[in-house]
A and B are shown apart, each in its own frame.
Chain A
C-alpha cells in the first residue's frame, strides 16, 4: 500500500476543515434561517421560466384589469397595465440577484487586488493606490453611479459596472489591513529567504489567509449591492425593457403610477419586502460566516 499523496492529504484536510466549519455554522440559528431563505429565493429565481410564463410580463398580452386588488387569479393583484405583481416580483428577483452577485464580485475583485498589491509592495505603490482608493471613498457613490449610467448605455451591464466601480474602496482598505498583518509574520520572511518571489508570497501565503475575510465581506456586500441596484432603478437608470423588471423598477413604476394615492398597497409592498428579506438573509449568512471564519470574533 502506498501512502496517499500530499495533495490528496491536503484535500482531505480541507474537507475535514469544511465539515468542522459547517458544524459551527449550523449551530447558529440566524445563519441557518438566512441560508434557507437564500436557497429558496435563488431556486425560485432560477426556476422562474419553468414555474411561470414569461409572456405574462408582456404589456400587450396582459390579462388582468388596471390595478386590481389581490384575488384568486392574481394573488398579489395587478399593476397599471394589468400584469400580475406576483409574476413581476418573481422575475424581478432574477435581475436583482444577478446584479447583486455580479456587481459584488466585480467590486470585491477590484478591492482585493488593489488591497493586496498596495500592502505587498508598500512604498509608492501603496501611496499611489491608496490615494486612488481615497478618491473613490470620498466621492458620493450614488452621484458617480448616476453619472456613469447617464454616460453609458442604459441597461443591466451599466448598472453592474456603476455599482462595482463605486463600492470597492472599503473592500480594498479591509484587504490591505489584513494583508499588512499577514506580511508582518515571520513565515513570509522565511518564504522570501527560501527564494520565493512576489507571486509566490502572494499566491501561497497572503491570498489563502485573506480569502476568508474576502468571502465574508462578499456575502455582506451582496445585500448593499441589491439595495444600490434598486436605488438606481428607482431613479430611472435601470433597464428600460419591461420584459426584464427588477424590484427597483417595480417600485419606480408604482411611484409613477401613483400607487399610494390609488391605495394599491399590493403594488408597492411586494418588491419592497422582497428587497428587505434578501438583504436580511445575506446579512444573517454573512454574520454567521464571519463568526466561523474569524476566530477573533469567536473568542469574544
Chain B
C-alpha cells in the first residue's frame, strides 16, 4: 500500500470576496522509501500541496479530494488523531531554518520537544538525552552542539537541526520544503547528501520541494512538476529532465545551466524575441574600475576585529561583465559596497577611470552617477509608496539631470524592456511581478546613464523563468550601451551564463581570477574545485 495517496486534491483560498484556486486536481502517490521531487515556480501551489498533507493550511483554505496517509484520510481525521499523526507519521523540514527555530531555547530542547509531546508517559531525562544525542549523530552534528542556541549555529548546522527535529519521532514520511534555498553550494551539497543517506538508511518516504530542478534531481528518484496548481509532468528524474514534455518543465530545466557546457555560454534561457547578442571582443586598454590592495575590517564589540575584505586587487574593463563568486560570508557584498563608496576601505583604494574614489559628499555624488547598484531583492529595493515613475526619476532628480524628465524616464524604462513605458509609470511596486520589479530597479540605475553596474545577486530572489530574462537583459545592455557590470553571485551557473571573467573570493581574498572558460573548466585553486564539485548537476541521476 502507498504511504501517501493524494486523490484529486483541490485547495481554494477564500477571503475578501475573491477566491484563489491554489491546487487544482492533483493526483500523487508515494511508496514507503520512495523519493519524490516537487518542482515549480513561486505561486504554483507546491507549498500548499505539501502543507495540506498535515492539514497545516490557514483557516481560509477549502480542501477538496482525498489525502490518504497510510490509508487514512487526513481531511476527516479528528483533531486528537491529527495531532498524533503530525510528526509521528509525517514530519516537515520547514523552509528557512533561521526562522523556524526558537531563538531563546537550546536546540537540544527543541529537538526533544516532539518526543516529549508524543510520548504517553514522559520519557526519563537520561533516555531523552540519549535519543537526542543519537539524532544529532544521525545528522552528523557533535552532541555538544545540542547545548547551543540557534544563533550560535551556521545556516547549514541549523538546517541539520531542523532535519534532526523532523526525524525525532521516526516518521515514515518527511516533507522538505525548500530545505537548501538559503544555503551555499557547498553546504547545500552536504545537506542534500545527508538527506539522501537518511532516507535510504531508514526507509523513509521523502517529498522534497524546490524550484531548482538540479537540486531535486540530485536527491529524488521521481520528479513532479507543478504549474498553476496542476501537475503537468511526472516521472523518473532523469527522464523528466532529459526529455521534458511540457514546455514549462523545459523552461525550468534550461534556467539552470550546466557549467562547462558551451551550449549555455553567453546564453541564459530567454524566450524574448530580442534574442541574444554575439559574444563581445575581449576588452583592452586601461581598466574602468580598479581596486588596489583593498582591505575592509570591522571592529565589533569587545574590540574583536573582523576582516571582511583582505587585500583585493580587482579590475573591471569597460564593457566587461565580471562575476564575483564566493560563499556567503566571503566578503563579496562588502567589496561591492566599498566599490560604490557606501563603505570606507580600511586600507587600499578604489580607482575609477584613472582617478581615485572621492571621499567628499559632492565628489561621491558625481561618482555615483557613473556607478550604479542593483540589489538582490527588488521587492524591498523599491519604496512601496513610490510609483514606477517616481522610483526611476529619483536618481534624475537627485542629480538634477537636464532635459525632459518624462522622456528620460520613458527611455530608461524602454531600455529595461518595460514596454510600453507609459503603462508602467503610474503603477506601484506591489502591482508588478518580481521580474518587472527588478527591471524597474535596473531602469532606475540606467536613467543616470552609468558606465558600471554593480549587481548584488541580481536574480537570486527571482523565479527560474524570469532569471534568464534578466540575465539576457544584462547581456543586451552591455552590447547596446557598452555597460560594464560587476555581478556578485554564489551561483556559478550565472557566471557561466553571462560573465567574461570570474573572480573567486574566499575568506576576503581573491583566490582565482581569470576568463570564465579557463577558471570554470580547469580550476587551479582547491576552493574553486570544491565549489564546482558541490554543484548539483542535471546530468547525473541520484545514486540509490
Binding site for B on A (CB under 8 A): 3, 5-6, 9-10, 13, 185-187, 189-197, 200, 204-205, 208-209
**Is B385 within 8 A of A209, CB to CB?**
yes
List the B side residues contacting A189 at CB < 8 Å.
342, 373, 375, 381
Tell me the nearest residue of chain A to B362, going by C-beta: A197
- Select one of A5, A185, A190, A195 contacting B365, CB under 8 A: A195
**Is A186 within 8 A of B385, CB to CB?**
no
**Is A6 within 8 A of B372, CB to CB?**
no
Complex: A6 Cα to B426 Cα, angstroms: 7
List the B side residues contacting A194 at CB < 8 Å.
368, 372, 394-395, 398, 444-445, 448
Taking A194-B368, A194-B372, A194-B448 as known contacts, 20 extra A-B pairs with beta carbons closer than 8 A to each other, sorted by chain A number, are A6-B387, A6-B389, A6-B406, A6-B425, A9-B426, A10-B387, A186-B376, A186-B380, A186-B381, A190-B375, A190-B444, A192-B342, A193-B340, A193-B373, A194-B445, A195-B448, A196-B394, A196-B398, A197-B361, A197-B398
Q: Mark B336-371, 1 if CB is under 8 A from A, else 0.
A: 000010100000000000000000010011001100
Q: Check if B422 is an interface residue, CB within 8 A of chain A.
A: yes
Complex: A209 Cα to B380 Cα, angstroms: 14
**Is B380 within 8 A of A200, CB to CB?**
no
**Is B393 within 8 A of A6, CB to CB?**
yes
**Is B380 within 8 A of A197, CB to CB?**
no
List the A side residues contacting B342 at CB < 8 Å.
189, 192-193
Tell me the nearest residue of chain B to A209, going by C-beta: B385
List the B side residues contacting A5 at CB < 8 Å.
406
Nearest CB in chain B: distance from A254 CB, A: 50
Complex: A257 Cα to B448 Cα, angstroms: 74
Q: Check if B134 is an interface residue, CB within 8 A of chain A.
A: no
**Is A190 within 8 A of B381, CB to CB?**
yes
**A-B residue pairs in contact (CB < 8 Å), sample of 7:** A6-B387, A190-B375, A190-B381, A193-B342, A195-B399, A197-B365, A204-B394
Complex: A192 Cα to B369 Cα, angstroms: 11
Contact residues, B434-479 vs A (CB, 8 A):
441, 444-445, 448
**Is A187 within 8 A of B381, CB to CB?**
yes
**Is B385 within 8 A of A208, CB to CB?**
yes
Q: Check if B382 is an interface residue, CB within 8 A of chain A.
A: yes
List the A side residues contacting B393 at CB < 8 Å.
6
Tell me the nearest residue of chain B to A3, going by C-beta: B422
**Is A187 within 8 A of B398, CB to CB?**
no
Binding site for A on B (CB under 8 A): 340, 342, 361, 364-365, 368-369, 372-373, 375-377, 380-383, 385, 387, 389-390, 393-395, 398-399, 406, 422, 425-426, 428, 441, 444-445, 448
* A187 and B383 in contact, given A193-B340, A195-B398 (Cβ under 8 angstroms): yes
Tell me the nearest residue of chain A to B366, going by C-beta: A195
List the A side residues contacting B381 at CB < 8 Å.
186-187, 189-190
Complex: A191 Cα to B380 Cα, angstroms: 12
List the B side residues contacting A193 at CB < 8 Å.
340, 342, 368, 372-373
List the B side residues contacting A195 at CB < 8 Å.
364-365, 368-369, 395, 398-399, 448
Tell me the nearest residue of chain A to B426, going by C-beta: A9
Complex: A197 Cα to B377 Cα, angstroms: 23
Complex: A205 Cα to B386 Cα, angstroms: 9
Complex: A145 Cα to B408 Cα, angstroms: 56
Complex: A181 Cα to B449 Cα, angstroms: 31
List the B side residues contacting A187 at CB < 8 Å.
380-383
- Select one of B340, B361, B375, B387 contacting A186, CB under 8 A: B375
List the A side residues contacting B340 at CB < 8 Å.
193
List the A side residues contacting B364 at CB < 8 Å.
195
Tell me the nearest residue of chain A to B409, going by C-beta: A6
Complex: A208 Cα to B386 Cα, angstroms: 10
**Is B399 within 8 A of A10, CB to CB?**
no
Nearest CB in chain B: distance from A124 CB, A: 15
* A191 and B394 in contact, given A10-B387, A13-B387 (Cβ under 8 angstroms): yes
Nearest CB in chain B: distance from A49 CB, A: 42
Complex: A270 Cα to B340 Cα, angstroms: 65
Tell me the nearest residue of chain B to A204, going by C-beta: B394
The residue among B376, B389, B393 with the most chain A CB atoms within 10 A of its own CB is B389
List the B side residues contacting A6 at CB < 8 Å.
387, 389-390, 393, 406, 425-426
